[in-house]
Structure 1
């Protein structure tokens, strides 16, 4: 028999669990990186790097959420999922987060368009850097014009991913 006083527990004043607050962003980035294991067949690299998109979305949406070093473990997971040379996403994501930190310290305020521009520059840097790392590891003759559609598609997809992260964030902080 349930105690009648415990039947209704008010949600006001309750805090979400620490795992929900801290784990949700990490899990979403890891799920975004794991999208690359889906059996999608394409003639050219057109699939956007969802792990990177989610990392940038969370970082620009909630700057206080992560420290800069979070690029190392999440980048390692992305490298293992995507098949890129180990260390490429670790390096590129960490440098990107350091760059975003440097930009944020110089700006008094940011608008949505500035966030999109920051994300676009980060996306171009990370995809071009991934191509460079793949070439250095003997990944064949990959030219930048082959990944230009992937860059464009990823940049255009960024606002949608930020909106989805905002929805997840509302759930994350809700008690």
Structure 2
């Protein structure tokens, strides 16, 4: 006997919730930023900035999703979670998003290699800028060579992160 309470509900014609559509990208960036708070002991920065990687992935996958100002609140949360000087990620992420907008307006089409190049330039800019702000706030003299392994690791990890964001995006828009 078939239970009348367990009937099949068709998925055609249904739409995902507005919360799911709008909150999923934001929550994934915040979770990525929170990963830097994991208790890992290292003598130099090796953990990639997952919040930045996820932000770039969403921005390059779905350009219509966010305006450039989203870098301010997401950057603030990243600054608070990562221990960077408050305002550094806010500034760097917003400038990066504005730069990506400017690049997109000049490009006729964009492919995988162009996205990786854009992400590479953004990672170099943000990590170098983060080092600059950390020097100003801490007053120390940290060399650029210290963040080079983190930078390379982050750039090489971008294709994996963008693929994971694409998977999450398929779930996000699925009814």
Please give the TM-score of this superposition, normalised by the length of structure 1. Answer: 0.96
Tell me the alpha carbon deviations over residues 16-41 of structure 1, each in whole angstroms, 9 at most, x when there is no partner.
Answer: 00010000000000000000111111
Residue number in structure 1 paired with 2:134: 134
Residue number in structure 1 paired with 2:47: 47
Q: CA RMSD in A?
A: 1.5
Residue number in structure 2 paired with 1:147: 147
Poorly superposed stretches of 4+, deviation over 6 Å: none
Q: How does 1:7-156 map to 2 (within 5 A)?
A: 7-138=7-138, 140-156=140-156
Tell me the alpha carbon deviations over residues 56-108 of structure 1, each in whole angstroms, 9 at most, x when there is no partner.
Answer: 00000000001110000000000000000000000000000000000000001
CA distance in 1, matches of 2:156, 2:6: 49
CA distance in 1, matches of 2:6, 2:105: 48
Q: CA deviation at 1:154?
A: 0.2
Question: Aligned residues, how many?
Answer: 174
Q: CA deviation at 1:143?
A: 0.8
CA distance in 2, matches of 1:35, 1:141: 26
CA distance in 2, matches of 1:51, 1:133: 18
Q: CA deviation at 1:5?
A: 8.1
| Structure 2: runs of 5 or more not aligned | none
Q: CA deviation at 1:170?
A: 0.5
Q: CA deviation at 1:140?
A: 2.2
Change (3 A) 1:139 1:164: farther
Tell me the alpha carbon deviations over residues 109-129 of structure 1, each in whole angstroms, 9 at most, x when there is no partner.
Answer: 001000000000000000000
Please give the TM-score of this superposition, normalised by the length of structure 2. Answer: 0.96
| Structure 1: runs of 5 or more not aligned | none
